[in-house]
Amino acid sequence: MSGQTGKYIEKQRELPVYGEFDVIVAGAGMSGCCASIAAARLGVNTLLVERSGMLGGVATSSMMSSITNYFFTSGNKQIIKGIPDEIISKLVEAGVSSPHWKNSAVPQIPHNADVIQVVMYNMMKEAGVRILLHTYISDVVTEPLPGGDRALKGIIIENKAGRQAVYGKTAVDCTGDADIADTMSEGAGVGYGIEHFSGVPSPDTGKGKVRIFNIFNPSAHERTDTVEITVWDWMGDLKRVAIEDHAGNPLPFQLIDNEYTRYWDHQYFRLIVEATVPATGYITVVMKEAELGAEYPFIFNRFPRTTPEYKPVTLENDHIKAFFSPENGALLSLIDKKTGKERIKCGSGGGGLVLWNCESRSNNAWLIGRILGRTPVTKTFRLTPLRDGDLRSGFEMEQEIMSSKITTTVSLDRNARALAYSFVIDWHEYTSRDGGKNVPVLTFSLPLADAPSAYQTDVAAGSIRRQSLYQDVSGLQYGAAVYDAEDRALAIVSDCKYGYRGCEGILSNTLINSANRPDPYPERGMHKINLWVAVDSACPKGLQEAAAEFCRPMNYLHTGSHKGTLAPAGALLDLCAETSVLSSVGLTCDGSLLVRVYETCGKADNVTVSLPFVAKAANLVDLDENVLGAAKISGTSVSFPIAANSIAAVKICK
């Protein structure tokens, strides 16, 4: 019917197989013709697929009367030979080209568009190339590989005979538009980024030089932060990458890699983007290849011509300044720029990884036993600066302790209030059950320049302050040395499962415990642990929100250009409170929105939840969702009071 719009869903169907080939060449321009002739002459079964009805591409379809002579340098040295040379020689024999073409003084080589087709057709016929004209490549056929990725198995073609599959061991993309390569990027990276069953898998769903991503903010407040994006099978120039938001405004970014990395049958590079994302919301960003512009792009020498100085490493932004040992990467100095105070004890050897030798009798999987000795991890084999940029700076080092190897990356983003540590630990230590050995326990320790007012950790729905204690204590996300007089704190934030300890002027976090009870080999294998050394407010709410941002970073998903009902940017809810923080958001059995919060500082507070819709009803409920009273609705906002040190929940009906 005329005027109808929308989508038509095609039924699944079986396709006939046109054939199986060793090599499939896509595109019968000059490069595709040469590639197919070369393959067939090697004795392999070759298919050439062309969407038009002629060979030669632009050289013939555009009725060009000459070919630019790139065969010779200005010094008259021939640099192109082989099949292209053979084609021109046959044109000379046919009387449509000049016999004097082998000279750099001849800028253009004349030819006849009809004759060159006949010449190349005869060469392909002689070599045994099978040719399909008036045939489009509409898709690729892939097969799974170990690790969840996939490899090219063939192509889908469409012509007068209908839609068919063609299997091939190798495909040569000479389309000029990267038709095969573009399609191959879709689905790349299925198993990438989810080591140890953690992380967010984000297989690629885009293609071409324009890629689209959605960045998500899990925090209940607007957030400006960096997110690391992996780009698969991009065909553009890495020196011309550009990042924009959905409105076309440029966003700050920095390349992590200056070349591609192979992963199964694909390749990728990584970059970081700094973006402002609404509370519990998302934005859309676009990556593309920028125009060249007025300035000619220069390629700089990757290697310096002078011998570098191997001096202490310095990482600095507007909030902190850190110095590291050039010998072992230890954190020698950490200055809180808000107060100007030094946080690391001078002459202590610095902060970093420390191996504790713990008493076997008092140590198990749940308790860290008596410490009988400490060994700083200082045996270092490599210390290399990261690729520097406006958004992030840092270094990477490789170390060894006992029989285990550790790769550590330390970085500082330009707006961050914390040093970021990423550990990849190949741990081989264990404790035998026959006794006589201590338990190896790997920790991260910071010797404090000044004695703190207290040590603080976060627990379920709050925080606990303690004085020095020769014992690890639980902390969901952080352990902090708190300085009340300055309203400042030095915190270790970690996604590790073990606890924190504050005593003898040292703040530490246990990373690996090699206890032999109950499991005799509990920790052997690969470990990936993220940790942050932060300077921030001593306010429990501030520490809680900062730790949550580190442990729950902004994430992204690949997407593509498509129609949808949502705007390119949006938010679920925004929470505004002086001392209260968000605990959870979920749906009830009747489809209502359930928001839980808790108060952190021991003060009565008022909470306002901003929504993308006008609530029909909003009630305070207990843990069993029994109604306790009504919350106040004002437009798209819902507000309610919360008592000191309390948990509150509001059920919101749309």
DSSP string, 7-66: ---PPP----EEEEEEEEEE--BHHHHHHHHHHHHTT--EEEE-SSSSSBTHHHHT---E
Give phi and psi for 233, each to the nearest 5: 50, 45
Q: Do both 455 and 586 map to the same domain?
A: no
Share of the chain above pLDDT 90, in %: 65
Which tokens sit at 571?
């938010």
Is residue 298 in a domain? no
Q: Do both 358 and 445 map to the same domain?
A: yes
Report the pLDDT value the prediction gives residue 530, as an integer from 0 to 100. 96
Is residue 489 in a domain? yes
What's the CATH number where 270 sits?
A: 2.60.40.1180
Structural contact between residues 100 and 92, judged by C-beta atoms closer than 8 angstroms:
no
Reported as a pLDDT band with limits 50, 70 and 90, residue 140 is confident
Last residue of a domain, one of 517, 538, 559: 538
DSSP conformational letter for 250: B
Q: Single out the residue of 127, 80, 39, 27 nearest to residue 89, CA to CA.
A: 80
Number of neighbouring beta carbons within 10 Å of residue 23: 21
Rg of the chain over Cα atoms, rounded to whole angstroms, equals 32
Last residue of a domain, one of 122, 150, 184: 184
Q: Single out the residue of 78, 124, 84 nearest to residue 104, CA to CA.
A: 78
Report the pLDDT value the prediction gives residue 64, as an integer from 0 to 100. 78
More confident site: 105 or 649: 649
Tens-place pLDDT, residues 340-374: 999 999 999 999 999 999 998 899 989 999 999 99
Statement: residue 148 has pLDDT above 80: no
Give phi and psi for 483, each to the nearest 5: -115, 95
Q: Do both 23 and 156 map to the same domain?
A: yes
Q: Do both 173 and 256 map to the same domain?
A: no
Tens-place pLDDT, residues 212-236: 999 999 999 999 999 999 998 887 8
The residues facing 288 across adjacent strands are 242
| SS3 sequence of 104-163 | CCCCEEECCHHHHHHHHHHHHHHHCCEEECCCEEEEEEEEECCCCCEEEEEEEEEECCEE
Section 521-550 average pLDDT = 93
Distance of alpha carbon 522 from alpha carbon 495, whole angstroms: 18
Distance of alpha carbon 638 from alpha carbon 229, whole angstroms: 35
Structural contact between residues 512 and 527, judged by C-beta atoms closer than 8 angstroms:
yes
Statement: residue 298 has pLDDT above 70: no
Tens-place pLDDT, residues 469-508: 999 999 999 999 999 999 999 999 999 989 999 999 999 9
Domain count, the chain: 4
Q: Do both 433 and 513 map to the same domain?
A: yes
Is residue 26 in a domain? yes
More confident site: 192 or 315: 315
Reported as a pLDDT band with limits 50, 70 and 90, residue 1 is very low
Section 294-308 average pLDDT = 60
Is residue 100 in a domain? no
Q: Single out the residue of 390, 377, 425, 381 nearest to residue 530, CA to CA.
A: 425
Q: Do both 461 and 584 map to the same domain?
A: no
Tens-place pLDDT, residues 580-617: 999 999 999 999 999 999 999 999 999 999 999 999 99
Q: Do both 177 and 212 map to the same domain?
A: no
Reported as a pLDDT band with limits 50, 70 and 90, residue 312 is confident
Is residue 95 in a domain? no
More confident site: 316 or 295: 316
Report the pLDDT value the prediction gives residue 299, as an integer from 0 to 100. 55
Distance of alpha carbon 509 from alpha carbon 496, whole angstroms: 9
More confident site: 182 or 94: 94
Distance of alpha carbon 594 from alpha carbon 596, whole angstroms: 7
Domain containing residue 446: 313-538
Section 174-189 average pLDDT = 65
Report the pLDDT value the prediction gives residue 184, as an integer from 0 to 100. 57
Task: Please report how the helices 30-41 and 113-127 are oriented relative to each other, as an axis angle in degrees rounded to 10.
Answer: 20
Statement: residue 143 has pLDDT above 80: no
Report the pLDDT value the prediction gives residue 180, as an integer from 0 to 100. 65
Most confident of 9-13, 195-199, 404-408: 404-408
Q: Do both 172 and 54 map to the same domain?
A: yes
Which tokens sit at 579?
């001392």
Share of the chain above pLDDT 70, in %: 89
Lowest mean pLDDT among 211-225, 332-346, 446-460, 550-564: 550-564
SS3 75: coil
Q: Which residue has the tokens 């406006």?
A: 390
Is residue 554 in a domain? no
Q: Do both 508 and 444 map to the same domain?
A: yes
Statement: residue 641 has pLDDT above 50: yes
What's the CATH number where 484 sits?
A: 2.70.98.30
Statement: residue 196 has pLDDT above 60: no
Average pLDDT, the chain: 89
Report the pLDDT value the prediction gives residue 98, as an integer from 0 to 100. 84
More confident site: 25 or 312: 25
More confident site: 246 or 195: 246
Tens-place pLDDT, residues 165-180: 999 998 898 887 666 6
Residues written for the chain? 654
Reported as a pLDDT band with limits 50, 70 and 90, residue 113 is confident
Section 78-91 average pLDDT = 90
Is residue 162 in a domain? yes
Tens-place pLDDT, residues 371-405: 999 999 999 999 999 988 899 999 999 999 999 99
Reported as a pLDDT band with limits 50, 70 and 90, residue 189 is low
Which tokens sit at 84?
């292209």
450 burial (CB, 10 Å; 0-12 / 13-18 / 19+) is middle
Q: Do both 433 and 355 map to the same domain?
A: yes
Which tokens sit at 213?
């991503």
Is residue 603 in a domain? yes
What's the CATH number where 30 sits?
A: 3.50.50.60
Report the pLDDT value the prediction gives residue 103, as an integer from 0 to 100. 84
Structural contact between residues 493 and 477, judged by C-beta atoms closer than 8 angstroms:
yes
Statement: residue 510 has pLDDT above 90: yes
DSSP conformational letter for 88: H
Report the pLDDT value the prediction gives residue 571, as an integer from 0 to 100. 93
Report the pLDDT value the prediction gives residue 512, as an integer from 0 to 100. 96
Statement: residue 466 has pLDDT above 90: yes
Report the pLDDT value the prediction gives residue 424, as an integer from 0 to 100. 95
Section 178-198 average pLDDT = 60
Last residue of a domain, one of 157, 184, 211: 184
DSSP conformational letter for 291: P
Q: Single out the residue of 65, 121, 125, 74 nearest to residue 96, CA to CA.
A: 65
Q: Single out the residue of 443, 326, 333 nearest to residue 377, CA to CA.
A: 443
Report the pLDDT value the prediction gives residue 521, as an integer from 0 to 100. 75
Tens-place pLDDT, residues 240-283: 899 999 999 999 999 998 888 877 667 889 999 999 999 999 99
Q: Do both 381 and 457 map to the same domain?
A: yes
Report the pLDDT value the prediction gives residue 147, as an integer from 0 to 100. 47
Statement: residue 457 has pLDDT above 90: yes
Query: Alpha carbon of 322 to those of 130, 400, 453: distances in Å?
Result: 66, 23, 23
Report the pLDDT value the prediction gives residue 317, as an integer from 0 to 100. 96
Q: Do both 122 and 267 map to the same domain?
A: no
Query: Alpha carbon of 561 to those of 206, 211, 214, 299: distances in Å?
Result: 8, 9, 11, 33
Helical spans, DSSP H, in 482-588? 540-551
